[in-house]
């Protein structure tokens, strides 16, 4: 159905008639167009009346279209149910220098930890149909890159655009948790879930992980921690190839404690296949119950009457210009013959 956002503007339709009927104190008599007596075949009175009627019809139509456009006509679509359940979670992604270690395998090629995380976590974000997501990036400090939103496309874009060294090279795990606590505290209704992805231990920040953990417990925030990094990596040197542990700095004990104390779970991601466990994570979370709501999509229609009015006005001006030039040409040619 069609809906008018400002229907009261339809009261402006008779405005030209009111202006026309208003009494004028000093009305100057309209000058009649005097045609030369030599043009006996042309009646100036009849021609003027016809032109006036045509102009009046055109101007009236243009005015009606403009008034209709000003009322903001809209097409109301069929009602669409908004999901009554949604999950709200914050994603905290580590951008420290160690995330550049190339110990991850993705589609048969070796990539660094951040590139692998972008692909796997990006897929996870896209699969969230009715959930709200937020994105925190942390290294030397923690920054809110994307506040809680249904716009998963923006969240994924902000993740894809993140680069190593953007916020430093160290790891401020405590600051990331504290920032999430602050953001969740501003929301009245939320299941308060934080997914923390890191490959190291806390080496920076103003708040220690233990202090941030106390805040999270007090605010009843559930934290799921994910430790990223392979256990074995072949490293070439002048003396040959040796096996090293690229995740030696990963503080698994701290991450596991944070998850357990907040009733969450700790995951160990040694490969992209392990990171796929994130997909199962969302199903384990308690959704936030919300009232059933409906939405009716609106499609603006005002540009149709507006475009038609502008087109008619343009054609009318061309017609006036053509008639004026035709009359001048006609009179000029008759004068030459006379």
pLDDT digits (tens, 9 = 90+) for 29-40: 544 444 444 334
**Segment 206-244, tens digit of pLDDT:** 999 999 999 999 998 999 999 888 876 666 666 656 666
pLDDT, position 311: 93
Residue that the structure tokens 């590139």 belong to: 115
DSSP classification of residue 97:
G
The answer to whether residues 195 and 235 belong to one domain is: yes
Q: Is 140 exposed, middle or buried (0-12, 13-18, 19+ CB in 10 A)?
A: middle
What band does 287 get if pLDDT is binned at 50, 70 and 90? low
The answer on pLDDT for 290 being more than 70 is no
pLDDT at 40: 43
Half-sphere exposure of 234 (CA within 13 A, CB side): 4
Do residues 55 and 180 share a domain? Answer: no
In a domain, 30, yes or no: no
Quick one: 205 and 217 in the same domain? yes
Judge contact between 142 and 136, C-beta under 8 A: yes
- Cite the DSSP H helix spans in 134-251: 152-160, 173-185, 209-218
Q: Give pLDDT tens digits for 75-88.
A: 877 776 655 556 78
Q: Are residues 203 and 286 in the same domain?
A: yes
Q: What is the pLDDT of residues 116-135, one digit of tens each?
A: 888 888 888 887 777 789 99
CA distance 122 to 15: 58
Question: Between β-strands 142-149 and 132-138, what pairing exists: parallel, antiparallel or unpaired?
Answer: antiparallel
Query: Would you say residue 165 has pLDDT above 70?
Result: yes
Looking at the structure, tell me whether residues 103 and 154 fall in a common domain. Answer: yes
Report the percent of the chain where pLDDT is more than 70.
75
Q: Is residue 333 part of a domain?
A: no
Q: How far apart are CA 117 and CA 126, in angstroms?
A: 14
Instruction: Give the pair of three-digit tokens for residue 92.
Output: 């905290």
What's the CATH number where 151 sits? 3.40.50.410
Helix (H, G, I), strand (E, B) or coil at 170: coil
Say whether both 288 and 179 belong to one domain.
Answer: yes
Residue 302, in any domain of the structure: yes
Domain identity same for 120 and 252:
yes
Is position 203 within any domain? yes
- Residue 83: its pLDDT value, please? 55
Instruction: Identify whether residues 181 and 249 lie together within a single domain.
Output: yes
Burial 143-155 (b: 16+ CB within 10 A, else e): eebbebeeebeeb
Same domain, 239 and 300: no
Supply the angle between the helices 252-261 and 209-218 in degrees, to the nearest 10: 10
Q: Is residue 163 part of a domain?
A: yes
Give yes or no for residue 91 having a pLDDT over 90. Answer: yes
| 26 is a domain residue | no
Claim to verify: residue 146 and residue 223 sit in the same structural domain: yes
Same domain, 258 and 232: yes
Domain enclosing residue 139, as ranges:
84-292
User: Quick one: pLDDT band at residue 320, thresholds 50, 70, 90?
Assistant: confident
Query: Which residues touch 233 (CB under 8 Å, ≥6 apart)?
Result: 101, 103, 243, 244, 245, 246
Q: Is 270 a domain residue? A: yes
Same domain for 109 and 12: no
**Which pTM was predicted?**
0.59
Q: Domain count for the chain, please give it.
A: 2
Asked if residue 233 lies in contact with residue 103, where contact means CB atoms within 8 angstroms, the answer is yes
């Amino acid at each position: 159905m069609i809906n008018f956002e400002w229907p009261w503007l339809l009261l402006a339709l008779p405005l030209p008639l009111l202006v026309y009927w208003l009494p004028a104190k000093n009305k100057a008599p309209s000058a009649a167009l005097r045609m030369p007596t030599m043009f006996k075949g042309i009646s100036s009175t009849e021609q003027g009346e016809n032109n006036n009627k045509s102009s009046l019809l055109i101007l009236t139509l243009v005015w009606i279209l403009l008034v209709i456009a000003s009322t903001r006509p809209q097409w109301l679509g069929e009602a669409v149910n908004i999901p009554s359940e949604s999950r709200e979670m914050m994603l905290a992604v580590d951008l420290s220098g160690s995330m550049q270690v190339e110990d991850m395998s993705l589609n048969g090629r070796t990539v660094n930890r951040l590139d692998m995380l972008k692909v796997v976590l990006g897929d996870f974000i896209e699969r969230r149909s009715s959930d709200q997501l937020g994105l925190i990036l942390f290294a030397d400090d923690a920054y809110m890159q994307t506040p809680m939103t249904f716009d998963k496309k923006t969240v994924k874009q902000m993740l894809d655009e993140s680069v190593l060294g953007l916020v430093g090279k160290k790891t401020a795990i405590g600051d990331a948790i504290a920032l999430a606590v602050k953001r969740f505290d501003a929301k009245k209704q939320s299941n308060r879930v934080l997914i923390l992805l890191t490959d190291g231990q806390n080496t920076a920040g103003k708040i220690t992980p233990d202090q941030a953990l106390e805040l999270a417990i007090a605010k009843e925030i559930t934290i799921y921690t994910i430790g990223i990094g392979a256990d074995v990596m072949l490293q070439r040197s002048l003396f040959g190839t040796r096996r090293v542990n690229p995740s030696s700095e990963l503080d698994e004990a701290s991450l596991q404690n944070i998850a357990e104390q907040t009733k969450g779970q700790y995951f160990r991601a040694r490969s992209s296949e392990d990171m796929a466990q994130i997909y199962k994570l969302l199903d384990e979370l308690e959704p936030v119950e919300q009232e059933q709501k409906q939405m009716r999509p609106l499609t603006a229609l005002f540009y149709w009457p507006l475009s038609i009015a502008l087109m008619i006005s343009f054609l009318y001006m061309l017609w006036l210009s053509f008639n004026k030039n035709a009359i001048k040409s006609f009179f000029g040619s008759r004068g030459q013959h006379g």
